[in-house]
Amino acid sequence: MYIMTFDVKYPSLGHVRMRAKRRLPYFVWEYLDSGTGSETAISRNRAALEDVELMPSILHGELTPRLDTELLGRSYSLPVGIGPVGMSGLIWPNAENILAKTSRDLKIPYTLSTVASKTPEQLSADIGDCGWFQLYPPREPDMRKDILQRVRNAGFGTLVLTVDVPVGSRRERMTRSGLTQPPRLTPRILWQISRCPAWTAGMVRAGMPRMKLIDDYAPKTSGLPSNKHMGYLLRTSPDWQYLRILREEWKGPFVVKGVLDKSDAIKLEKEGVDALWVSNHGGRQFDAAPSSAAALASIRKAVKLPLIMDGGIEGGLDVLRAMALGADFIMMGRAWHVALAALGGKGPAHLAKILKADIEANMGQLGLSHPKDSCRRLINH
């Protein structure tokens, strides 16, 4: 009997995505998939990558592709890691634990969000030595110090400060879907849930997700707008002095996420950060922001720091495009959660398999032994 495997049924992220959309309640899909405004920043991310042309190579003989990648003193098996997504547990039950185990097994980084539905301690047994922690900067110094200590003790070795959320964004699609924070089981939401039995069964077992790290610190409060969450009451918009304090307090690798302006990149390099994460927050914060790919090319010329990039990555070819523009490493956030929604616990490993195969196939077309060499095949951009 012929059995259709994941490789046959879901050979690309696009095929995985179609299944994920069918298996998630509408309000959850809108939370995961939406941007802000008219979502031109999301479109711009894709268009900028699609505009990158790489010259194929001929007569280069047989090559053995090698995907292991050095970053911040560590070697990872792929040039791709798992980026932070807030409230992962809303997208799929126990998402954070599944992704932490995936990162450990694959030897790629996993970035836990401050506003995840699991605490760092709850992932300590799963993460191995691949844990990164994404910090939304707390307003209170004592809270910040306590979170950093908890993160260290749980085994997360790299700190990522997100700087592109000075205020909350307007995510109109998400708001219109009926999602509130915390989620409320309105008749509209219950109808959506009833159409997705796999998601619902998992949630019954796991329990309704909450921002558990934030819950440990959040005071009793009321009057929070329905499209905002408790984290907005506890965090601040950091300035350069805040950055310096955090750099002093954190003794491991320190990454700043949300950099688009090369002048900011130059200043950050002088402040002693260890890497820059070029990102427009997946098009979820400011609709007029430049694409990550366009910003990456400019920043690469301005600094010598390792550059991480996210935004618009849909497969292995996009990974090579981004690295040709100057990225040292690629992060993907939505994609790993799409894979979870589509295929459950087996989804992230399947996505990694897709990415690896696609990178290697396109490296063969380009005559490359390692993804970092893709810059040699970049056509004037």
Angstrom distance (rounded) from CA 118 to CA 97 = 8
Measured torsion, CA atoms of residues 293, 227, 141, 131, in degrees rounded to the nearest 10: -50
**Under 8 Å CB-to-CB from 8, ≥6 apart: which residues?**
none
| Cα distances (Å, whole numbers) of residue 63 to 59, 324, 351, 372 | 11, 19, 24, 15
**Under 8 Å CB-to-CB from 117, ≥6 apart: which residues?**
87, 88, 89, 90, 95, 96, 209, 210, 211, 212
Alpha helices in 107-229 (DSSP H): 120-127, 141-153, 172-176, 187-194, 197-206, 212-215
DSSP state letter for 129: T
- The CA R_g of the chain, rounded to the nearest whole Å, is 20
Q: What H or E segment, with its residue span, contains residue 13?
A: helix 13-23
Burial class (CB in 10 A: 0-12, 13-18, 19+), 190: exposed
- Taking Cα atoms as reference points, which of 88, 100, 164, 90 lies closest to residue 132? 100
Angstrom distance (rounded) from CA 39 to CA 44 = 9
Q: Which two tokens stand for residue 119?
A: 């605490």
CA triplet 38, 41, 45: central angle to 5 degrees?
140
- Active-site entry in 229, 281, 337, 350: 281
| DSSP-based helix, strand, coil % in the chain, nearest 5 | 50, 10, 40
Q: What H or E segment, with its residue span, contains residue 119?
A: none
DSSP state letter for 138: B
Angstrom distance (rounded) from CA 32 to CA 55 = 34
Cis peptide, bond prior to residue 348, ω within 30 of zero: no
Q: Which residues pair with 332 in a beta bridge?
A: 82
Is 60 designated active site?
A: no
List active site positions: 281
